[in-house]
């Protein structure tokens, strides 16, 4: 007769298999999931058009987000199987991570190397979702306790002493929300630019976490009014945080060299900073091996006067900072789709 502990373990493994299979199927069938890239269908200016389309996370992933928020221990128990089953069941994840690895490392990986890389990326995505769920129910101070080191804080404080606000750019890497918790320790008002998600559970979980942190949400899908509010916030010496490693459908963007390929980078951060004369500061939060985090603040980038040549120097400088972090922490870059322009036609 099976013991209760063994029965519980079997049920947990069965749940993990079902969850991983659902995730893999959805990753193969959907154009938009957290961490998956999509190509802009029209290069219209959402800042002006007020495009209200939401990020299309598959609704069926709702139970996974609910599990991450309600039972993070159980969700984490699913991780080892998920990192193996998602690549096994999802041809799209296997193909895209192979393409991305080739562009990141500049060579084709061996089969064992590619298997380890793909599992690492899927594991980072899994950790990200679990962190959102866990952190949404914890006080902000608990999040800050998970930060082991902050690099570049002295230079950041010097740049902020000019009191011109700051546009902080980051990438889908590590734990964005832990970085926000660290930022709120030194900043009075922080505005986070984001696109509303179609997944109710994920959007509710993320909104609850940001309320806990005390940051102000700035939905890009509200159009021009959001950008005017962000301009006023910078003139009031507030801080605006934006993702800069992925262009959403309709966003103005620029294709720039990136590692061993080219990446499409949104230009909104540079244009917003230029409107107010605010510095652009790249910031990234990455996981350490002990379960804690490191925050990296790069030197401030001047917004300049715009693109005098083919490429905007500010946008290129932002891309260089992201490039440095991806080269150092490739498995923590949360991209499950084809990230590089060279592979976009095949995505």
Which pLDDT score, from 0 to 100, does residue 42 have?
Answer: 33
- pTM of the entire predicted model: 0.82
Task: For residue 86, name the pLDDT band (cuts at 50, 70, 90).
Answer: confident
Question: Which one has a higher pLDDT value, 124 or 197?
Answer: 124
Is residue 34 pLDDT above 70, yes or no? no
* Mean pLDDT in residue range 75-103: 90
Which pLDDT score, from 0 to 100, does residue 198 have?
Answer: 67
In sequence order, what are the residues at sequence separation of 6 or more whose Cβ sits closer than 8 angstroms to the Cβ of residue 199?
57, 58, 59, 61, 62, 65
Is residue 125 pLDDT above 80, yes or no? yes
Is residue 9 pLDDT above 70, yes or no? no
In sequence order, what are the residues at sequence separation of 6 or more whose Cβ sits closer than 8 angstroms to the Cβ of residue 336?
27, 33, 35, 36, 92, 93, 96, 97, 121, 122, 125
Helix (H) or strand (E) holding 156, with range, is: helix 153-160
Q: Which residue has tokens 């690492």?
A: 120
Is residue 38 pLDDT above 80, yes or no? no
Is residue 341 pLDDT above 80, yes or no? yes
CA 89 to chain centre: 24
Could you tell me what percent of the chain has a pLDDT over 90?
48
Distance CA(302)–CA(281), nearest Å, equals: 9
Which pLDDT score, from 0 to 100, does residue 223 have?
Answer: 81
User: Tens digits of per-residue pLDDT, 244-286?
Assistant: 998 877 788 999 999 999 999 999 999 999 999 999 999 999 9
Question: Which one has a higher pLDDT value, 195 or 156?
Answer: 156
Which pLDDT score, from 0 to 100, does residue 219 have?
Answer: 87
Average pLDDT, the chain: 81
* Mean pLDDT in residue range 11-31: 48
* Mean pLDDT in residue range 313-321: 96
Is residue 55 pLDDT above 70, yes or no? no
Is residue 29 pLDDT above 60, yes or no? no
Which pLDDT score, from 0 to 100, does residue 2 have?
Answer: 40
In sequence order, what are the residues at sequence separation of 6 or more whose Cβ sits closer than 8 angstroms to the Cβ of residue 259?
103, 104, 106, 323, 326, 327
For the record, the structure tokens of 63 come out as: 């139970």
Distance CA(128)–CA(67), nearest Å, equals: 13
Residue pair 286/149 in contact by the 8 Å Cβ criterion = no
* Mean pLDDT in residue range 149-168: 95
Sheet holding 216-219, edge to edge: 147-151, 293-297, 280-287, 166-170, 239-243, 190-194, 216-219
User: Tens digits of per-residue pLDDT, 203-254?
Assistant: 777 788 888 888 999 988 778 889 999 999 999 999 999 999 988 777 889 9
Which pLDDT score, from 0 to 100, does residue 30 have?
Answer: 42
Domain definitions of the chain by residue range: 4-39+58-135, 142-344
Question: Which one has a higher pLDDT value, 13 or 97?
Answer: 97
Compute how many other C-beta atoms are within 10 angstroms of the C-beta atom of residue 121.
26
Distance CA(331)–CA(286), nearest Å, equals: 10
Residue pair 143/214 in contact by the 8 Å Cβ criterion = no
Over the Cα atoms of the chain, what is R_g? 20
* Mean pLDDT in residue range 57-68: 63
Distance CA(272)–CA(106), nearest Å, equals: 34
Task: Count helices and strands (H / E) in the chain.
Answer: 15, 9
Which pLDDT score, from 0 to 100, does residue 179 have?
Answer: 87
What residues does 193 pair with on adjacent strands? 218
């Amino acid at each position: 007769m099976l013991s209760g502990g063994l029965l519980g373990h079997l049920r947990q493994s069965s749940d993990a298999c079902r969850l991983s299979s659902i995730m893999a199927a959805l990753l193969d069938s959907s154009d938009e999931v957290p961490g998956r890239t999509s190509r802009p269908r029209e290069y219209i200016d959402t800042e002006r058009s007020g495009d209200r389309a939401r990020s299309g996370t598959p609704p069926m992933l709702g139970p996974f987000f609910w599990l991450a928020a309600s039972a993070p221990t159980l969700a984490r128990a699913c991780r080892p199987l998920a990192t193996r089953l998602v690549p096994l069941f999802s041809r799209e994840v296997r193909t895209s991570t192979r393409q991305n690895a080739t562009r990141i490392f500049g060579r084709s990986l061996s089969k064992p190397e590619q298997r380890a890389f793909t599992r690492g990326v899927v594991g980072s995505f899994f950790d990200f979702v679990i962190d959102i769920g866990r952190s949404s129910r914890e006080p902000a101070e608990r999040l800050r306790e998970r930060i082991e080191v902050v690099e570049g804080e002295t230079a950041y404080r010097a740049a902020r002493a000019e009191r011109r606000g700051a546009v902080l750019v980051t990438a889908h890497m590590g734990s964005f929300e832990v970085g926000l918790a660290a930022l709120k320790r030194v900043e009075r008002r922080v505005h986070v630019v984001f696109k509303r998600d179609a997944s109710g559970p994920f959007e509710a979980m993320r909104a609850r976490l940001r309320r806990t942190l005390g940051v102000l949400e700035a939905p890009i899908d509200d159009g021009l009014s959001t950008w005017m509010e962000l301009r006023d916030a910078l003139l009031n010496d507030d801080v605006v945080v934006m993702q800069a490693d992925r262009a959403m459908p309709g966003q103005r963007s620029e294709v720039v060299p990136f590692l061993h390929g080219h990446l499409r980078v949104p230009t909104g951060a540079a244009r917003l900073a230029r409107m107010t004369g605010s510095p652009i500061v790249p910031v990234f939060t990455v996981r350490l091996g002990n379960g804690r985090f490191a925050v990296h603040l790069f030197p401030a980038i001047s917004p300049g006067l715009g693109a005098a040549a083919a490429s905007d120097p500010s946008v290129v400088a932002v891309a260089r900072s992201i490039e440095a972090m991806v080269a150092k922490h490739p498995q923590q870059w949360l991209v499950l789709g084809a990230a590089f322009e060279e592979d976009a036609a095949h995505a």
